[in-house]
A and B are shown apart, each in its own frame.
Chain A
Amino acid sequence: DGGITQSPKYLFRKEGQNVTLSCEQNLNHDAMYWYRQDPGQGLRLIYYSQIVNDFQKGDIAEGYSVSREKKESFPLTVTSAQKNPTAFYLCASTERDYGYTFGSGTRLTVV
């Protein structure tokens, strides 16, 4: 079955540490996205990529970085510059902007 796989499901980060969240899709979608969700809130766009080797900042890109070296993969790094990283991170993909497919998410906690 086609879909998006995010790993790990839970991640704990120490202060000052960089961590990378994985997102892999086998839907052959060109566009991929990273969103952050805080408790009881909507989703906010961190970064998106519409084609391999190209990506754009979203509304809350500070403290995050991404790469898009392969069509199937769009990893997100949460850097030590992100002062409040505890959140639920969701990766999504779409073809021609219709019906975004989301992964099951990664819950990141700072310890």
Chain B
Amino acid sequence: GQQVMQIPQYQHVQEGEDFTTYCNSSTTLSNIQWYKQRPGGHPVFLIQLVKSGEVKKQKRLTFQFGEAKKNSSLHITATQTTDVGTYFCAGPRQLTFGSGTQLTVLP
């Protein structure tokens, strides 16, 4: 079945540093979605990528979908304390979730 692997599992950064999390699938994905879950909260939808090589930006967040549609990344520029949380990628088909990257931002 479809598997989505995500690395790293944990990332600690100083406020102002950049952060990247990577998502890799064993199969080609028709789309990939990204979610953010704050500590104690529920996942919140950030974005969906559909096209090969697609790049989308939301303020300091940049999302990429690989040319082969098997990998994706989320990059945050100049992290802020409000970025703290766990970032999940999810494949289609009832959302096969990656294990998430837990981001800690040190002030």
Contact residues of A with B, CB < 8 Å? 33, 35, 40-45, 48, 58, 90, 92, 97-105
Contact = CB atoms under 8 A, between A and B. Distances in A.
B58 interface: no
B45 A43 contact: no
Contacts of A105: 42
A102 B65 CA distance: 24
A43 B41 contact: no
Interface residues of B, number: 21
Give chain B's interface secondary structure class.
Answer: strand
A103 B42 contact: yes
Given A97-B92, A100-B33, A42 B42 contact: no
Contacts of B99: 41-42
Give chain A's interface secondary structure class.
Answer: strand
7 contacts: A42-B88, A45-B94, A45-B95, A58-B94, A90-B42, A102-B43, A105-B42
Given A97-B92, A99-B48, A42 B41 contact: no
A10 to B, nearest CB: 12
B100 A99 contact: no
A12 to B, nearest CB: 18
Contacts of B102: 40
A19 B88 CA distance: 29
B22 interface: no
Contacts of A101: 45
Given A48-B94, A105-B42, A98 B48 contact: yes
